[in-house]
Amino acid sequence: MRIMVTGGARSGKSSFAERYAAHLAKCGVYIATAQAFDAEMEERLSLHRKRRDDSGFPWRTIEEPLHIAGWLRRHAPADGEAVLIDCLTLWLSNWVLRHESESDMERTVGDRVEELAAAVREYPGTVLLVTNEVGSGIVPEYKLGRVYRDLAGRMNQRVAEACGEVFLVTSGIPVELKRLAFRFD
């Protein structure tokens, strides 16, 4: 089962994904893609860890800022286990910042997105992926921001194609989109 959870900042995406994983499985692997480069980010990560610890659901946390496709390909899911990857837009930022000075950065990062979408499609267990809808706001002033926004939109489309369920979380309310999607039949 492959599930994507998307929405805006502070919409309740992560807490919904954690609760849904606990509903679907007996235990979870939490793949954290964020990196703490300052005290404020470390505090955010600490609050996420505390929420998981306080939930009563058994999580094992793995910090993997870049190579989640490889991790999915190497990891054989245990019986009753769900994998939650939080968050794809931070993962994308990690790749963009790693390659931002290269002339073919968009192609290089786009290749990582394709690799991730394929790994998600092929994963034999339950995987939930949290991402952000970054293209709903203003047009970024700087080129790198616009490139990132475009990459994030394309990434979300590719991962959504690989998933059986896609939830949009707004104001803490999850809505499953694939059941509502218009189809050209």
DSSP classification of residue 165: E
Residue 181 lies in a domain: no
Domain that holds residue 136: 2-176
Is 129 within 8 Å of 159 (Cβ atoms)? yes
The predicted pLDDT at position 144 comes to 93
Tell me the whole-structure pTM to 2 decimals: 0.93
Q: How confident is the model at residue 63 (pLDDT cuts 50, 70, 90)?
A: very high
Residue 76 lies in a domain: yes
Residue 184 domain flag: no
Is there a domain that residue 86 lies in?
Answer: yes
Q: How confident is the model at residue 9 (pLDDT cuts 50, 70, 90)?
A: confident
- Model pLDDT for residues 69-117, shown as the tens digit of each residue: 999 999 999 999 999 999 999 999 999 999 999 999 999 999 999 999 9
The answer to whether residue 34 is domain-embedded is yes
Please name the residues in contact with 55: beta carbons below 8 A apart, sequence gap of 6 or more.
Answer: 18, 19, 22
Contact 160, 150 (CB under 8 A): no
Q: Determine if residue 14 is labeled as part of a ligand binding site.
A: yes
Q: Is residue 183 situated within a structural domain?
A: no
pLDDT at 45: 81
The CA distance from 172 to 111, in Å, is: 33
As annotated, the active-site residues are: 48
pLDDT digits (tens, 9 = 90+) for 117-170: 999 999 999 999 999 999 887 888 999 999 999 999 999 999 999 999 999 999
Classify residue 185: in a domain, yes or no. no
CATH of the domain at 148: 3.40.50.300
Give the angle 111-149-145 at the CA atoms, nearest 5°. Answer: 105
Which class for 45: exposed (0-12), middle (13-18), buried (19 or more C-beta within 10 A)?
middle
49 in a structural domain: yes
List, edge to edge, every strand of the sheet that includes 165-170. Answer: 59-63, 27-32, 81-86, 126-130, 2-7, 165-170, 173-176
Number of domains observed in the structure of the chain: 1
178 assigned to a ligand binding site:
no
Find out whether 49 is annotated in a ligand binding site. yes
